[in-house]
Amino acid sequence: MNRTIRALMGATALCATAGIAAAQDTTLTVATVNNGDMIRMQGLTSDFTEKHPGITVEWVTLEENILRERVTTDIATQGGQYDVLTIGTYEVPIWAKQQWLVPLDGMPDDYDADDLLPAVSEALSVDDNLYAAPFYGESAMVMYRTDLAEAAGITMPESPTWADIKAAAEAMTDKDNEVYGICLRGKPGWGENMAFLTAMANSYGARWFDMDWQPQFESEEWNAALTDYLDLMTNYGPPGASSNGFNENLSLFQQGKCGMWIDATVAASFVTDPESSTVADKVSFAQFPNKEGMDNHGNWLWAWSLAIPASSQKQDAAKQFIAWATSKGYTELVASKDGWRAAPPGTRTSLYENADYQSEAPFAAMTLQAINAANTQKSSVQDIPYTGGQFVAIPEFQGIGTAVGQQFSAALAGQMSAEDALSAAQANTTREMTRAGYIK
Amino acid sequence: MARAISRNSKIGWTVAAWLVALIIFFPILYTIITSLKTEQEAIAGFDLIPSFSFSSYETVQNQNNYFRPFMNSVVIAVGSTLLALIVAIPAAWAMAFSPTKRTKDILMWMLSTKMMPAVAVLVPIYLIFLRTGLMDTRTGLVIILMLMNLPIVIWMLYTYFREIPGEILEAARMDGATLRDEILYILTPMAVPGIASTMLLNIILAWNEAFWTIQLTTTNAAPLSAFIASFSSPQGLFWAKLSAASTMAIAPILILGWFSQKQLVRGLTFGAVK
């Protein structure tokens, strides 16, 4: 009897030791992009490893498109090189349907998934299963200079129409002093000018495709949206706008050269940061504009999110990491180190209920309103066969969106008319959608 | 009779040469200038006068330790070059001194492999690396870069070897030199300038390679190309940091190129005039 007990105890001890050894061997490889919030997370990794002594974390930071390429190759070949991926709301539904991602069920009890903002949570779910946890989220809104608006005698409504925007841009423009009424994206790319123009077109009642996947660029709505965009940028925008993306406009706004900038809500924390913005205390916010009589504010929604590839061999440890990085506790950790303004925005309801955050982040209420208003399941007022807000959630969109973006950017550069750009976009998209088998 | 060169013509050609050199070097110069600006200055527009801010270098080093990718780059570039030379010298010898009627075809075929886009063979090579445990290892990258650059190395060496009179090798053979002696003690010393320039060029090519070195690494073997790629940001200003990372990455190869330019030029023009 004694011998049996001793043998059992020995075996248990051996198993325990082996278990500890195995746990200590777990190294998670996290692939990410070089955004400020991600870099901050890297710096705080020790908090996670202290709480999970058996796990170490290795970071791979890559340029956004290289990251997509690398991760796609790795998942397609079942390489298992990565355990946690940083991906966006565009990839999550597509990759989840391909069964490339692991559903994030069985998260720890204190994770409180119900606290995630419903619009964000919905955009990252397929068949009611969450496939990625949002690290930070964004919609789009108007950021404008209160001093310039006041000097021009303009009162910006909380929910402006495109006519209000045009009037404000005209009033605030002072080209002699290098102040331009409006700064918008013009650099070609599905995630650059087409993110903005798709949201703008949504707010004009346009849609990318009808229910038979026929492109709709020759519709009145697209024509009105693109014509107004070109009119705004040609008359009141900065020179060389066709090469301006998020970063270029951020710089222009921070230098006080833009009266308004309509872009991702995450920019609000940059333009109100006194360390990098010369106009930090002269900025206010308004909802993404809509066309008069059209109940649609663009439906822009993006969330950089953490997901586990199906090829990962360390899915349990990866889940623990994601639970830590996207938890309420992580937000509090960031706030304790760098202040509430630095807390990753746009993911949890509790952040927007926090009085400290509200007082430190003047953009909090408008950000929340913009995110909550975004409907990525039906981004157009017309019937559509796709999901996605400022993009179309099909694998072909990266190529098609960039090709269309090049036409529209050329129109902005004055190389072609709006009609010619729309015709070219229609022809190109019809060809690609036929090739891909959507159009029979 | 040598053509007389007038003073004016000499000045004109010198200025033109300097201008061409400046145009070629300008992107590198502007990268260095940008690295010494703040992020706001870097994105503000064209300006040749930086504020000499070193904050980007500090951020880059703090965020991503430079020395690990640097050492990986050194090992991969030098390793792949030496391995390529070991394979290429006998191959070029055979083609230069014992050609067959198919030698030219083989040379053209080897060169044609460089015309294929690398991405076309990404998946098979990725799978081979996964199955053989070469993924994210220096050994794997040494092998792949050796294979990628081998056609150029063989071509260059073949050209240099062709300039060496075959009679010298014949004489060595008559004196009883074995094949090994012939390659090691007769051919190689005579082709040193050519081999040196091939080696330098191959090191530069391997150092700058940014497709396979990014696709086949994650953390352990990631060289400076991956280090640079990590500083581009979709949301946030990054030009100064990216320029600082690029300057740190190209500095060693620039210095190497500067000190070895005589050998490089001598080797590249070797055999140009008979």
Given a cut of 70, is residue B63 above it in pLDDT? yes
> How far is the alpha carbon of A268 from chain B, nearest alpha carbon, in Å?
12
- What's the rounded Cα separation, in Å, for the pair A141 and A371? 10
| CA neighbor of A111 nearest in space, from A347, A324, A350 | A324
Residues of chain B in contact with residue A33, where contact means CB-CB under 8 angstroms, are 233-234
Decide if B122 is inside a domain.
yes
**3-class DSSP state of A46:** helix
- What's the rounded Cα separation, in Å, for the pair A375 and A202? 11
- Per-residue confidence (pLDDT) for residue B274, from 0 to 100: 42
Q: Do A79 and B230 touch (CB under 8 A)?
A: no
- What's the rounded Cα separation, in Å, for the pair B84 and B157? 11
- What's the rounded Cα separation, in Å, for the pair A86 and A75? 14
Closest alpha carbon within chain B to A82:
B218
Residues of chain A in contact with residue B234, where contact means CB-CB under 8 angstroms, are 33, 35, 64, 191, 246
User: What's chain A's average pLDDT?
Assistant: 92
- Per-residue confidence (pLDDT) for residue A22, from 0 to 100: 45
**Interfacial residues of A (vs B; Cβ cutoff 8 Å):** 29, 31, 33-36, 39, 42, 58-64, 66, 69-70, 73-74, 76-77, 79, 81-82, 191, 246-248, 250-251, 254-255, 264, 266-267, 270, 276
Given a cut of 70, is residue A160 above it in pLDDT? yes
Task: Pinpoint the alpha helices (H) of A264-387.
Answer: 267-271, 315-325, 328-338, 349-353, 355-360, 364-373
Decide if B216 is inside a domain.
yes
Given a cut of 60, is residue A13 above it in pLDDT? no
Decide if B167 is inside a domain.
yes
Decide if B51 is inside a domain.
no
Given a cut of 50, is residue A21 above it in pLDDT? no
- Per-residue confidence (pLDDT) for residue B268, from 0 to 100: 67
- Per-residue confidence (pLDDT) for residue B269, from 0 to 100: 67
| CA neighbor of A321 nearest in space, from A169, A114, A74, A133 | A133
Q: Give the tens place of pLDDT for each residue, A406-429.
A: 999 999 999 999 999 999 999 999
Q: Do B40 and A35 touch (CB under 8 A)?
A: no
Decide if B44 is inside a domain.
no
| CA neighbor of A103 nearest in space, from A304, A349, A350, A318 | A318
- What's the rounded Cα separation, in Å, for the pair A214 and A216? 6
Decide if B253 is inside a domain.
no
**3-class DSSP state of A205:** coil
Residue A345 DSSP code: P
Closest alpha carbon within chain B to A41:
B63
CATH of the domain at B109: 1.10.3720.10
Q: Give the tens place of pLDDT for each residue, A129-151.
A: 999 999 999 999 999 999 999 99
- Per-residue confidence (pLDDT) for residue A275, from 0 to 100: 84
Tell me the average pLDDT across B134-161.
Answer: 94
Residues of chain B in contact with residue A76, where contact means CB-CB under 8 angstroms, are 123
Given a cut of 90, is residue A106 above it in pLDDT? no
**SS3 of A257-287:** CEEEEEEECCHHHHHCCCCCCCCHHHEEEEE
Predicted TM-score of the model (pTM): 0.84
Q: Do A62 and B214 touch (CB under 8 A)?
A: yes
Beta-carbon contacts below 8 Å between A and B: 85
Q: Which amino acid appears at position A257 of this protein?
A: K
Given a cut of 70, is residue A248 above it in pLDDT? yes
Residues of chain B in contact with residue A254, where contact means CB-CB under 8 angstroms, are 40
| CA neighbor of A134 nearest in space, from A86, A90, A195, A96 | A86
Residues paired with A304 in a beta bridge: A136
Q: How many Cβ atoms sit within 10 Å of the Cβ of residue B268? A: 16
ipTM metric: 0.79
Paired tokens of A32 = 């990410």
Number of domains composing chain B: 1
| Distance (Å) of CA A25 to CA A22, A54, A55 | 5, 7, 7
Q: Give the tens place of pLDDT for each residue, B250-274.
A: 999 989 888 888 777 776 666 544 4
Given a cut of 50, is residue B236 above it in pLDDT? yes
- Per-residue confidence (pLDDT) for residue A5, from 0 to 100: 54
Confidence category of residue A24, pLDDT binned at 50, 70, 90: low
Domain encompassing residue B145: 66-230
Paired tokens of B254 = 């620039």
User: What's chain B's average pLDDT?
Assistant: 89
Confidence category of residue B202, pLDDT binned at 50, 70, 90: very high
Tell me the average pLDDT across B108-137.
Answer: 92
Which among A42, A255, A266 is the nearest to B235, CB-wise?
A: A266
- Per-residue confidence (pLDDT) for residue B205, from 0 to 100: 93
Contact A111, A122 (CB under 8 A): no
**SS3 of chain B:** CCCCCCHHHHHHHHHHHHHHHHHHHHHHHHHHHHHCCCHHHHHHCCCCCCCCCCHHHHHHHHHCCCHHHHHHHHHHHHHHHHHHHHHHHHHHHHHHHCCCCCHHHHHHHHHHHHHCCHHHHHHHHHHHHHHHCCCCCHHHHHHHHHHHHHHHHHHHHHHHHHCCCHHHHHHHHHCCCCHHHHHHHHHHHHCHHHHHHHHHHHHHHHHHCCCHHHHCCCCCCCCHHHHHHCCCCCCCCCHHHHHHHHHHHHHHHHHHHHHCHHHHHHHHCCCCCC
- What's the rounded Cα separation, in Å, for the pair A47 and A337? 12
| CA neighbor of A148 nearest in space, from A133, A126, A132, A170 | A170
- Per-residue confidence (pLDDT) for residue A19, from 0 to 100: 43
Confidence category of residue A14, pLDDT binned at 50, 70, 90: very low
Confidence category of residue A177, pLDDT binned at 50, 70, 90: very high
Decide if B257 is inside a domain.
no
Decide if B274 is inside a domain.
no
